[in-house]
Amino acid sequence: MKKSNVTFIAAVLISLHVLAFMLFLGSKEGKADKQSPPTNPAAPSAPAPEPAPSAGFEMPELQVAVPELAEQKLEIVPVEVVEMPKAAPREAIAHPRNIKGYLRSDRSNRRTSKTYSSLVGNPYQGAIVIDARTGKILHEDRAAVYAYPASVTKMMTMLIVLEQIDKGLVRLSDRVKITPEIAGIGGSGVYLDVRESGAFTVEQMLQALMIHSANDAAAALAFHVAGSIDGFVDMMNQKARELGMNSTTYHTPHGLPITAQPDISTAYDIAILSLAALRHPQTLEYTGTKLAWLPTNSLRKEKFMLANRNALVGKEPYPGCDGLKTGYHSKGGYSLAATAKQGNHRVVSVILGVPDRDTRNATTRKLLDKGFQKLKQN
C-alpha cells in the first residue's frame, strides 16, 4: 500500500473518533439541562451567607489545688500490737487401720437381737486399752464379748450432734424445745420442764449430757437434731456401721433400758467410738469439765449444778485424765470409757460390765497405767 493511502486512512479514523466524542459530550449536556432548574440570567447572584457567629463559649480555666507536700505534717499513729494466745495444737487421733494388732473396722457383722437378763462379769465383762495416736491395741481381755454400755451410749449422741454442727445443720446457740416425752424420761437428768422450751441452748444440753449424764438432755438433743427419738436412733446405728462397730445396736439416745433389748455393744466397739469422739476437739471440753451450771430462768430460781460423774476427772483424779463417759444400769453393771494424756502419749481404756463402782474406777486406773507403761517402754 502506498504511503499516501495510509496517511489518508489514518486521518479519516481520527476524524471519526473526534466526531463520536463530540456527539457524546453533546448528549451529556442535554441531559444535564433537563435535570437542572431554570435560572434567571438577569438576577444577580446573591452572595453566600456568612456563617452565624457561634455563641460565645470560653473554656474554663482548670484550677487544681495541689497541696504543697513540704507544708504537710505527717501524723504517725502508734499501733498497739496485741499478742493473741496460741491455740492448743489439735491432737492426732488414729482411725482404724485394718492391720493385725490395731483397731479394725473391717470385721464381720456380729450385731444381735438377743436379750440377756444380765451382762455383768467378774471383775468385768470386757476390757481394752488403746494407743490413741496409732490405734494400736496395748491390752485386751474379752473385748469382743457383748455388754450393755448404759450411759456410755451418750458418747454416740454427742458425736452425732457435733457432726451436725460441723455440717452447719445445727448451731451451739440453737434453742432447744422441750416436749412432754422429753420431760417424762426418768433416771439421771436435769429435770427439764415443757415450760422451759427455748430456755436452754444446744451447748448447755451437751454439757448436761456429758458432764451430768442427763437422760432428758439426750432426748432433747435427739428431738432437736432429728425431730424424733426413732429418727435419731437411726442416725446412731448408721454411724456405728460407718465406724465399723460391728457388734453394736442402739435403741435409745441415752442408754436407759426402756426397750425390749437395751443398747448393746462391746469394749472393742466402744474403743472405736472413743477415738471417733476424740477426733472432735470439743469432746474434751465437755468430758474434761469438773463442774458447770445451768442458768436460772422463770422456773429455776437457782442455777443447776452439773458435776462430772467420772471420778477420774473429778473426785479422785487420775493424772492427765480428761474423759470420757461413765455408764450404769442394773442389767449392765458399771462401765467407763476413759482417756488420759501424759506427755506426748494419749491412752484410751474401756471397761464394761463391772459389778460395782469402786472396782470399775480402780481397774480403769490399772488399765491406764498399763497402757502408759507399754508406750514408755517402746
Partners of 141 in beta bridges: 127
Candidates 180, 206, 205, 203; CA nearest to 193 is: 180
For residue 325, say whether it is annotated as part of any ligand binding site: yes
The CA distance from 257 to 148, in Å, is: 9
The CA distance from 310 to 206, in Å, is: 16
Candidates 93, 285, 279; CA nearest to 207 is: 285
- Cell numbers linked to 124: 468385768
335 SS3 class: strand
* Sign of torsion over alpha carbons 110, 111, 115, 120: positive
DSSP 93-155: ------STTB--S-PPP-------S----SS-SEEEEEETTT-BEEEEESTTS-B--GGGGHH
Q: Which of 136, 151, 188, 247 is catalytic?
A: 151
Angle at 16 between CA 10 and CA 18, to 5 degrees: 105
The CA distance from 179 to 175, in Å, is: 13
196 SS3 class: helix
The CA distance from 235 to 76, in Å, is: 60
Annotated active-site residue 213? The verdict is yes
Partners of 351 in beta bridges: 127, 336
The CA distance from 22 to 24, in Å, is: 5
Annotated active-site residue 117? The verdict is no
Q: Which of 15, 113, 114, 154 is catalytic?
A: 154
Distance of CA 327 to the CA centre of its chain: 29
Annotated active-site residue 54? The verdict is no
DSSP 255-288: ----SSS--BB-HHHHHHHHHHHHTSTHHHHHHT
Half-sphere exposure for 53 (CA within 13 Å, toward CB): 3
Specify the length of the chain in residues. Answer: 378
Residue type, 158: M
Q: Which of 136, 188, 213, 335 is catalytic?
A: 213
Per the annotation, binding residues for substrate are 325
Which residues are known binding-site members? 325
Which residues are part of the catalytic machinery?
A: 151, 154, 213
